[in-house]
Structure formats: structure tokens, C-alpha cells
Structure 1
């Protein structure tokens, strides 16, 4: 039986240090983000599902891109990597009125649900993306230049 590879050290959601505008200076994982993996997470409806709300005009392979969130075209020029990391992890720290789900948060919800059961969830909840996935998505979005 093959043994599982140990996960790279990562910052736990409750230990993330946000600055006053919601940016995260330090990477959440010891492994650098992989833009190719981030591109997959963007389009994967079972993982990040970023595609449900955000469009990227160059992504003709991603069907049914959303228009609820802002277009990600040029996002790598609009925000620094630190700002992107904070926005992907917990957009509400930067944009309090955002509808974007907190991708790397486990507690502090107003009324968490237990998947689609109609019952209340109990905290801590698992994050929607793990630390490496956050870094991968950030690496991908940082490549989106005007």
C-alpha cells in the first residue's frame, strides 16, 4: 500500500494575518502557487467554482462563465499578489458588501449551513479551498494582465 505524501506546511485559516485592507503578506503554503493548477480550480465547478461568478475573456474553454462578480481580465494589474491572496481567502475583508464566499475561513459565519441539508452547521467548518489551492488560484489570477 502506497503511503500518502505529507502536506506542505501551511498557515491554518484561524492563523492568517490580514492587514487593514484585507491583504495577506505571507504565502499560506510553503509551496509556491502553480498558475496551471489555479486555472483548473477556476473552471472546476467541484472545487473553486470561480467560473460561476467571474469571467475571463481568454477562457473560451470555460463554459457558462458568470457575471455576478467582476471580470478577472487584468486582475493581475489591478491588485498585488498580497491583495489577491486576501481577496481569494476572504473577500469580505476587502469588500464588505461582496457576495463572494470566504474560501479560506472556518468560523465567524453569521448562519452557517450544513451542506444542503437545511440544518445549521457547526463551526469550525472546513475551508472551501485549502492553503495550496488558494496559492494556486492567486498565482493564476496574477498572470491575468491587460
Structure 2
């Protein structure tokens, strides 16, 4: 086979292959009747340790700004706006939690919780952030995996 053709084919494959072959685009997320999202956004299992880091990170999930979580007693400034998340893995299914994180407004219409995997419909968004979501699809899966560890 011609070396130029092989290099071209390899380059096309590298460009065509996304980071996660099964990643669901923001607009293609399928919600159930009650806001749940049954299918993984990436096809890759969530990493609970990575999800814990997203949860705690004030520049990503910033979940502690609104939620108390006894698993993070060593962290300051737990919020009191949202519900306490102790035992959340017993109260909600993985699909329910994924739906809430992707777009909580589908489950709780009056919530102030942001939609973490939505990329449009925002008001007064910075131009450099247009078309982006707060979390990536894998970060959503990681946070879901972490929340599922919070059981009574």
C-alpha cells in the first residue's frame, strides 16, 4: 500500500473518531416522562472518585455551594439551598440522578439548580462560553457514580 495513502487514511480516522464514540450530544439527550435519563451519556462507566472531585470543585460542579454532604465534612461552606445529599443513592436511581444533573428543571421546574449538560437557551452568556455545557458528558457520569455511593 502506498505510504501517502496509509498516512492519509490514518489522519482521517484520527479526525473522525470522537473522544467518546458513544457520547450523546447535548441536544440528543433523551429524557423519560419524569425527567430521568436512562442511557449513559458516554457509554463509559462513571468514576466515583473523579465524580467526587467534580462535586467538590468550586469551578465545576460546585455542588457544596447548595448541598450539604456528610461525606465531605472536611470541606467548609456546605450550602443549605438544596436538599441534603446523604443517602441520595438510596432515594434516587442512577437514571433519575443523571436526569437531574443534566437538566434539573425537567424534574424540579422551580429549582435554581443549573442544568449541567445543556449548551443553549442561556441568557447573557459570555461569548466564549456559548455552545458549551458546565460539565462534560463524562463528568456527568462521574458525578452520578459518586452520588450513587452516598447511601444510608
1:5-35 deviations in Å (ceiling 9; x for gaps): x622310110000011100010001211000
Decide which structure has greater helix share. Answer: 2
Q: How does 1:1-146 map to 2 (within 5 A)?
A: 7-9=19-21, 10-109=23-122, 112-115=123-126, 125-146=131-152
Partner SS, residue 135 of structure 1: helix
CA distance in 2, matches of 1:58, 1:113: 35
CA distance in 1, matches of 2:128, 2:73: 39
1:35–1:136 contact (8 Å) kept in structure 2? yes
Report runs of 4+ in structure 1 exceeding 6 Å deviation. Answer: none
Q: What is aligned with 1:118?
A: none
TM-score, scaled to structure 1: 0.86
CA distance in 2, matches of 1:139, 1:129: 14
Q: What is aligned with 1:3?
A: none
Aligned CA RMSD, in angstroms, stands at: 2.1
CA distance in 2, matches of 1:29, 1:62: 30
- Count residues with an aligned counterpart: 136
Greater CA radius of gyration, 1 or 2?
2
- Structure 1, unaligned stretches of length 5 or more? 1-5, 116-120
CA distance in 2, matches of 1:62, 1:90: 26
